[in-house]
Amino acid sequence: KLQLLLQLTTQGLVTSRLTFQSLATSRQIVQSLAIMGITADEGNRSGTGGV
C-alpha cells in the first residue's frame, strides 16, 4: 500500500514537472516573441528619428 502511494506521488511529481517545463517553454516563446516585437518597434522608431 505504501509503495503504491509512493509510486503515485512520484508519477504526480513527474507529471507536474513536465507541465511546469511546458509552461516555462511557452513563457520563453512568448518572451522571445515580445523581444522580437520590441526590437522591431525600436527599429521602426529609430528609422523615423524617434528614440
d(CA 26, CA 32): 10
pTM of the model: 0.54
Residue 35 in grid coordinates: 523581444
17-48 pLDDT per residue, tens: 999 999 999 999 999 999 888 887 777 766 66
pLDDT at 14 (0 to 100):
94
- The residue with cell 506521488 is 9
C-alpha of 11 from chain center: 22
Label residue 51 exposed, middle or buried (CB < 10 Å: 0-12, 13-18, 19+). exposed
d(CA 15, CA 7): 12
pLDDT at 13 (0 to 100):
94
